[in-house]
Structure 1
Amino acid sequence: MRIGVDALAIQSPFSRGRGIGRYARSLLAAMLEADTSNEYVIYTYEDLPRDGLPSSPRSRIREVARRPDREEHTLQHAVERALLEDADRLDWFLLLSPFETWQFYGLPHRPVGRTRAAAVIYDVIPFLFQETYLTSEEVGRWFYGHLRRLSRYDRLLAISEATRLDTIRLLGLPPGRVHAIGTASDPPADPDGDPNRDAATLDRLGIDRPFLFCLGSGDPRKNLRGLIDAFALLPDHHRSTIQLVVTCSLIEKEIRALTDHARSAGVADRLVLTNGVDQDTLETLYRSCAAFVFPSLYEGFGLPILEAMQFGAPVVAANNSSQPEVVGDAGLLAHAAEPSDLAAKIARLLDDPALRRRLAARGRDRSSQFHWADVADRALRALGATGRPRLPRPAAPPPRLAMFSPLPPRRSGIARYAERIATALRDDALIDLYHAPDYRPALADSPGRLACFDASLFERRAGLLGYASVIYQFGNSSYHAYLYDIFLKHPGVVVLHDPAMPGFHASYGLIAGRMNAHLVEELSYSGEARDPEVAAMVAGWEPGTWDLQEEMVRRGVTMNRRILERATAVIVHSEDGRDRIAAAYPWLLGKVHVAPIGCDPDPIDPDRRREARRALGVDDHAVVFGSVGILHPTKLNRETIRAFASSLADFPDAMLVFLGRDLGGGEAAREADRLGVSGRVRFLGHLPDEDYERSIAAFDVGLCLRRPPTNGESSAALLDLLRRGLPTIVCDVGTFSAVPDDAVFKVCWPGEEAGVAQLGAALRAAALDLPRRLRVGRAALAHAEAHHSWTPLIDLYRSLCLPGLGPAGSPEASKPMKGVA
């Protein structure tokens, strides 16, 4: 077999000194060394250096030169002519870098003759982060043109399994045409170095104490600002004794921006920016650091992780894209877009010298498993695994869905819900998730399965790609306001998490700069402006004066008619939600569909509870009441503390824990202080997933309360308690009333004094009556298992958004995800 290899990646000034050039050179050298049966023709380009080109007795060079007399003005034309003439009788033509930009080089079209075409795929970053890389229409057209040509190649060789999955999803290719061949790094010649020389190097760089090291770049994807934020969240004793060292080539503007960001975070005196360094200095930093931290939001492979492990640096990397493949069990993984989680993992490493030693040893061992000979072998197998196939027809692309929703790390139950729904649908369709422009999502799943885009790109992408359906997740927080203009112009399937929408419209109007006018318009359109008092209240409302959402709900105002009318279909998660719509707009009921939110049963066993209590410093015999979700006056947090203080004053082992962000201005904490129970009431705030899971496992009784009347919302927080088999106290109102009486403790709320009294009685009964508590917990778990499977909801999404497919029973529908009920 004769293999032609395009060497532009090794020659081009844009690539030869970068990671792509080094990879291309190492891969070709390994193939030439390992392959003793095939011949190689290395295609080089005029006027470019040939030094560093690997060679062997079975290889020869053919120079590709443009012929202006034949109107060959680009290198693409020249190489396509060479392939068409086929003077070398090639069996395969291997492109080492398909997205080169040297002198308008374009990806060659697949040859029409006998020669098959293959290309190495490093990543598909421009297509996953279009808001950063494809802001120009001309650049976007260039990249998408290359992508179409690439989809016709016979083999694509991905440098990681994550990149392989990205490529399959993006191009809609059969899995057999895309192979993961991996990557490697040559072992360092001097892994231990010279201590005196290393000390001198660190002194020259201004590093005078233990340090965290990051090798990055100015690309926002490398998340250097997030790293600085995480460093600022470390405990004081770490921040005062360590430095944060960042190595990358930065222009003056980027240096100033990072320095200013560190100053605003209060850690500028601990930040060391080395700018670019030579290889010897880089090796010193790797082997001298207390830990190597790599907070990238996406990598095609993540070579610096592998290099750090070779030098014995304990690693904290991100749990996205290819990074878990590289790290394995030899490092800690964090949500890179969540500074608090990144800080928690760093602190864990710094606090545990034994863990650092174990991970350093594991890292050296794991890095020794990455060999160029293995990469070359996988590449050769991919090219020679089958005989000459008939050129396959391009596979019909799967349908494509668009979804607008807040996404993790937004602190929103709907964000986790949307990720779960998209994950369940990913085997049936390509899912494009559109988010607000002020943050970058961090999904638990590989971006290759779920692509995230700035919402500003929707119009252009919709015109280029077309969508089978567009899904809009509507909720009452400001996180949803960005989607309204697009929804009005491009209606789609609406998921109405809160049937009453005044809070949503207040947020939208505030962002649009016409808050009161917009609220009056929506009030009038919904036919709810007939009450002049309500109209006057809305017209004169000012944020911070009183709670618009709570007051409008109390008066029965929903402001949802325009949303319901524009929607092609509406999903609600309770019969209560459908009944509210039917009462207000009976002619719209035909487009409303009901399916309960799903959950993953996860009962808490005694060992897990004991471990969780130890972590919280709680005795085994204590009774812990736990409230999950944001703190807000509508959640009756202050009233809960009153009931707790009065009903369990003689029960000192009772404890009350609040788990969630405080949006109530601290009123609950002040109430605990006023009543003298602050020592028995804890406020844990918003926690990373791992800490949240551990904390909730310490509960004996859950609390999920709402002040009547409610928005008609379904509570993911309630399901989070029921699915764990926790007996839970709820208000007998709205969707909470639908839970069977034997599966919860129900409290009526006729008014504050009577409500506090009933709540106190329920708290006391739950604390003192252990047999009843256990019965209610078992019934709660049974209810969650019987009535809150994900399957009916996912099937409803399929029937509305992908009507040609029908229910699929995808195993993803039942795959548990952290942070989702």
Structure 2
Amino acid sequence: MKIAVDLRSLETPTGKRGIGYYNKNIFKELFLKSHPKLDFSLFTFPKSKLRKEFKIGSGDRFISVPALFWPKRGLRRLDPFFSIFWKGILNSTKPDLLHLPFVFDVYHLSIPENIKTIITIYDIIPLLFPKQYFQNRKAEDWYRQRFSEIKKVAKIITISKASKKDIIKILKIPEEKVEVIYGGIDEKFKIIEDEKVTEILNKYKITHPYILTISTHSFHKNIPRIFQAFKEYIISKEDDKLSLVVVCKLTTNEEKDWKRQLRELDIEKRVVLTNFVEDNDLSAIYNGAEVFLFPSLYEGLGLPVLEAMACGVPVITSNASSLPEVGGDGAKYVNPENVTEIKNAISEILENKDLKSVMIKRGFEHTKKFSWKKAAKETLKVYEDVLSS
């Protein structure tokens, strides 16, 4: 049986976000092994770097999808024109099954009616917070139109039970059509020696002690309340040493906005905005933290919670969306809209060594439930179930 997987979204900006991280890890595991009854066709852009990144079986192959230029939001109106390339590739490869890991970055992409198709939906955050995510009605209409096609698909993969619940409720998809496949934890996230931690912290001008968070400028990351809770904690404890480290990658305007907020709170000198952090350095930054703070308003999954736990760091996260699923009994939960509750959770962990020790131990145990091998195996089973249906 022939399976086609569209990898092009991994070569757009999405490939550098959590969505890309999830897919690259699953597909690396999936393609490592030969599957005697399955042949994979992997669709990429011309001159794709993924050909060097993925090791594939003898019966599998990369196939370039022609493109005149890189997909851009302003070119959405040309979708019907570019679809000729897409339909031509599908006609020439004739897959029995098609997997579309992301349907928003590669705009000239339609869901075929004559091929069994699986799509992955990570969350529907823009539909939950439309005022914060859509610049205008045209953008919202386009987004909703993409989802209008999903009734054609054979199966939807999503990354948490919370996302599945939203997909069923808001997109009106039958429950049996949606499968949950959690992500895993990269082996680099582990306890590492103090000397290495110190070396990396010096590289980013981070000093002990510090609270760590990972964030983007997106509304659902809840950064204003994180800033406020940190300020209230250091004032209430008269703490002149603790800092807040924010691992992030910001545009110039986004950085200006955050620095404005920090100046208004008078904590600019107590907060480190790392901007770009190399992948291999992140584990050390986790390791050095006193606590990991991740009180998002919403997450599709929230892998940083697991990464922090694997590095031996106690976690404070939200009692909302998927975060209780990913945190299990290893995290401290707060109402993400309640700054006082976030501040009190910080205080409780930093001032109670016994609690901190228990949370670290529980976190380690909880992470054992998640792996990329398991995720790849579950993805393969979805393929096989759809092919046999």
Report the TM-score when normalising by structure 2: 0.89
Supply the AA of the counterpart residue of 1:100: D
Supply the AA of the counterpart residue of 1:307: E
Where do residues 145-294 of structure 1 align in structure 2 (5 Å cutoff)? 145-188=145-188, 191-234=190-233, 236-237=236-237, 239-294=239-294
- Partner Cα separation in structure 1 for residue 387 and residue 253 of structure 2: 54
Offset of residue 386 of structure 1: 5.5
Q: Is contact 1:92–1:116 with CA below 8 Å preserved after alignment?
A: yes
Supply the AA of the counterpart residue of 2:353: P
Offset of residue 48 of structure 1: 3.9
Where do residues 359-398 of structure 1 align in structure 2 (5 Å cutoff)? 359-385=359-385, 389=389
Where do residues 741-756 of structure 1 align in structure 2 (5 Å cutoff)? none
User: Which residue does the alignment assign to 1:23?
Assistant: 22
Supply the AA of the counterpart residue of 2:53: G
Supply the AA of the counterpart residue of 1:150: I
Of 59, 78, 86, 1:79 maps to 86
Of 100, 112, 119, 1:95 maps to 100
- Partner Cα separation in structure 2 for residue 239 and residue 172 of structure 1: 50
Structure 1 residue matching 2:300: 3-state secondary structure: coil
Q: Specify whether residues 239 and 144 from structure 1 end up closer, same or farther in structure 2 by C-alpha distance, changes over 3 A only.
A: same
| Superimposed CA distance per residue, residues 479-513 of structure 1 (whole angstroms, 9 cap, x where no aligned partner) | xxxxxxxxxxxxxxxxxxxxxxxxxxxxxxxxxxx
Supply the AA of the counterpart residue of 1:97: F
Q: Is contact 1:28–1:54 with CA below 8 Å preserved after alignment?
A: no
Q: Specify whether residues 273 and 387 from structure 1 end up closer, same or farther in structure 2 by C-alpha distance, changes over 3 A only.
A: closer
Offset of residue 95 of structure 1: 0.7
Where do residues 1-40 of structure 1 align in structure 2 (5 Å cutoff)? 1-10=1-10, 12-33=11-32, 36=35, 37-40=37-40
Q: Is contact 1:120–1:157 with CA below 8 Å preserved after alignment?
A: yes
| Superimposed CA distance per residue, residues 370-420 of structure 1 (whole angstroms, 9 cap, x where no aligned partner) | 11121122222223236655xxxxxxxxxxxxxxxxxxxxxxxxxxxxxxx
Structure 1 residue matching 2:376: 3-state secondary structure: helix
- Partner Cα separation in structure 2 for residue 365 and residue 76 of structure 1: 48
| Superimposed CA distance per residue, residues 536-587 of structure 1 (whole angstroms, 9 cap, x where no aligned partner) | xxxxxxxxxxxxxxxxxxxxxxxxxxxxxxxxxxxxxxxxxxxxxxxxxxxx
Offset of residue 47 of structure 1: 4.6
Supply the AA of the counterpart residue of 2:95: L
- Partner Cα separation in structure 1 for residue 238 and residue 286 of structure 2: 20
Q: Is contact 2:86–2:109 with CA below 8 Å preserved after alignment?
A: no
Offset of residue 72 of structure 1: 8.8
Offset of residue 154 of structure 1: 1.0
Where do residues 683-762 of structure 1 align in structure 2 (5 Å cutoff)? none
Q: Are 1:62 and 2:63 matched, yes or no? A: yes
5+ long unaligned stretches in structure 1: 390-821
Structure 1 residue matching 2:120: 3-state secondary structure: strand
User: Which residue does the alignment assign to 2:122?
Assistant: 122
User: Which residue does the alignment assign to 1:305?
Assistant: 305
- Partner Cα separation in structure 2 for residue 283 and residue 262 of structure 1: 26
For the aligned residues, what is the CA RMSD? 2.4
Q: Specify whether residues 47 and 132 from structure 1 end up closer, same or farther in structure 2 by C-alpha distance, changes over 3 A only.
A: farther
- Partner Cα separation in structure 1 for residue 368 and residue 82 of structure 2: 39
- Partner Cα separation in structure 1 for residue 81 and residue 160 of structure 2: 31
Q: Is contact 1:306–1:367 with CA below 8 Å preserved after alignment?
A: yes
- Partner Cα separation in structure 2 for residue 206 and residue 46 of structure 1: 40
Sequence identity, in percent?
25
Offset of residue 52 of structure 1: 1.6
5+ long unaligned stretches in structure 2: 69-77
Offset of residue 151 of structure 1: 2.6
Offset of residue 266 of structure 1: 4.1
- Partner Cα separation in structure 2 for residue 269 and residue 72 of structure 1: 48
Supply the AA of the counterpart residue of 2:105: E
Where do residues 404-443 of structure 1 align in structure 2 (5 Å cutoff)? none
- Partner Cα separation in structure 2 for residue 194 and residue 327 of structure 1: 25
Where do residues 517-556 of structure 1 align in structure 2 (5 Å cutoff)? none
- Partner Cα separation in structure 2 for residue 316 and residue 131 of structure 1: 27
Offset of residue 178 of structure 1: 0.8
Offset of residue 237 of structure 1: 2.6
- Partner Cα separation in structure 2 for residue 29 and residue 205 of structure 1: 30
- Partner Cα separation in structure 2 for residue 266 and residue 275 of structure 1: 20
Offset of residue 359 of structure 1: 1.2
- Partner Cα separation in structure 2 for residue 216 and residue 285 of structure 1: 14
Q: Is contact 1:107–1:146 with CA below 8 Å preserved after alignment?
A: no
User: Which residue does the alignment assign to 1:295?
Assistant: 295
Supply the AA of the counterpart residue of 1:209: H
Q: Specify whether residues 62 and 260 from structure 1 end up closer, same or farther in structure 2 by C-alpha distance, changes over 3 A only.
A: closer
- Partner Cα separation in structure 1 for residue 238 and residue 282 of structure 2: 24
- Bigger RCO of structures 1 and 2 (CA < 8 A, at least 6 apart): 2
Q: Is contact 2:34–2:58 with CA below 8 Å preserved after alignment?
A: no
Deviates more, 1:19-28 or 1:310-319: 19-28
User: Which residue does the alignment assign to 2:323?
Assistant: 323
- Partner Cα separation in structure 2 for residue 27 and residue 75 of structure 1: 29
Higher helix content, 1 or 2: 2
- Partner Cα separation in structure 2 for residue 258 and residue 239 of structure 1: 22
Supply the AA of the counterpart residue of 1:283: S
Report the TM-score when normalising by structure 1: 0.44
Offset of residue 227 of structure 1: 0.3
Supply the AA of the counterpart residue of 2:362: R
